[in-house]
Structures are given as structure tokens and as C-alpha cells.
């Protein structure tokens, strides 16, 4: 008899990643995650891009990828999938600025996260994703001329 394979949720993978990082990076990733959920309670947590050389990446989605939460030796990086299309009046984006699509926020040890600005950015990214899901209404087709022919006979 086949035994059921336990399914581990993406949230559990993210929890484990935070626990593994026993330094400022784990705390920062946990803080960023909390801010993301405060900005959009409907955000979906995913765990993507698992390879033999990498354990995977935390991904936050709503109507498409909003951002990732990657951790490196010296930085926690939030990469916004459509960041180049977002307005960033607070200047949070400080990495991957030359790209045509993505933008990132590198958070270094000791950096203070501007929670209000980050929430605004997350909400804008969600709005952009959701807007992109809506299909435009089809244009009305031009009306064809009536197929009825008028009689050429005149009543005298």
C-alpha cells in the first residue's frame, strides 16, 4: 500500500528558512514578510525555483508574482517582478535599476525598513498584477447592412 507523501506548505518552507538564518537576515526576512501580509492579507506565499544547487526562493504573489524574498550573505533582497512599472516616490528601489522589468530593494544589516512606503509599493504591485488579469472588453463588431432588400416595385 502506498503511503501518503506529506505536503509541506510554502509557508512552512519560509518559516524554516527564517529559523535557519540565526542572524539579522532571518529577522529581516520575517519583518519583511509581516509587512507584506499587512499590506495585502490576501497575498499568497509560494516556494519556487528549487534546484539541486539552491534550496528555493520565497515568493509572494497576488494575481502574479509581487516580489521575492531572497537572502544572501550580506543582504536580504526583495525583487519586484514588475518593479520598473511601479512608481517609487520614496526611493526604496536601490538595486537592479538598469533592468526593463524588475527592480529590487537590498536591505543590509542595520538598515531601517520604511514600512509605510514598502506597503504602498506592495499594494501598487498587487494592483498592477490584478489590472493585468482583467481582459479588456471586446470592441463591438461593426453592424452589417441588413440583408433584406427593399422592393423596387412602387405602389401607384
pTM score, whole prediction: 0.79
Q: For every residue of the chain, which 3-state class applies, written as one string?
A: CCCCCCCCCHHHHHHHHHHHCCCHHHHHHHHHHHHHHHHCCCCEEEEECCCCCCCCEEEEECCCEEEEEEECCCCEEEEECCHHHCCCCCCCCCECCCCCCCEEEEECCCCCCCHHHHHHHHHHHHHHHHHHHCCCCCCCCCCCCCCCCCCCCCCC
For residue 103, give the CATH number of its domain: 3.90.1150.200
Q: Quick check: is 35 in a domain?
A: yes
With respect to residue 22, please indicate whether it lies within any of the assigned structural domains: yes
What pLDDT, on a 0 to 100 scale, did the predictor assign at position 65? 96
- Number of domains present in the structure of the chain: 1
The pLDDT assigned to 135 comes to 61
User: What integer pLDDT is reported at residue 83 of this predicted model?
Assistant: 96
The answer to whether residue 145 sits within a structural domain is: no
75 falls within a domain = yes
| One pLDDT digit (tens) per residue for the chain, 156 residues | 555 545 568 999 999 999 999 999 999 999 999 999 999 999 999 999 988 988 899 999 999 999 999 999 999 999 999 999 999 999 999 999 998 999 999 999 999 999 999 999 999 999 999 997 766 566 666 666 655 555 555 555
Residue 88 has a pLDDT of: 95
Quote the domain boundaries for residue 77. 10-132
Amino acid at each position: 500500500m502506498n503511503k501518503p507523501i506529506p505536503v509541506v506548505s510554502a509557508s512552512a518552507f519560509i518559516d524554516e528558512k527564517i529559523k535557519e538564518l540565526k542572524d539579522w537576515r532571518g529577522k529581516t526576512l520575517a519583518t519583511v514578510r509581516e509587512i507584506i501580509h499587512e499590506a495585502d492579507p490576501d497575498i499568497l506565499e509560494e516556494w519556487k525555483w528549487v534546484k539541486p544547487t539552491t534550496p528555493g526562493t520565497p515568493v509572494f504573489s497576488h494575481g502574479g508574482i509581487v516580489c521575492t524574498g531572497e537572502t544572501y550573505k550580506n543582504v536580504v533582497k526583495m525583487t519586484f517582478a514588475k518593479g520598473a512599472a511601479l512608481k517609487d516616490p520614496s526611493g526604496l528601489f536601490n538595486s537592479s535599476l538598469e533592468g526593463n522589468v524588475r527592480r529590487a530593494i537590498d536591505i543590509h544589516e542595520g538598515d531601517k525598513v520604511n514600512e509605510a512606503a514598502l506597503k504602498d509599493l506592495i499594494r501598487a504591485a498587487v494592483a498592477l498584477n490584478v489590472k493585468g488579469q482583467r481582459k479588456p472588453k471586446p470592441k463591438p463588431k461593426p453592424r452589417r447592412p441588413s440583408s433584406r432588400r427593399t422592393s423596387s416595385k412602387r405602389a401607384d
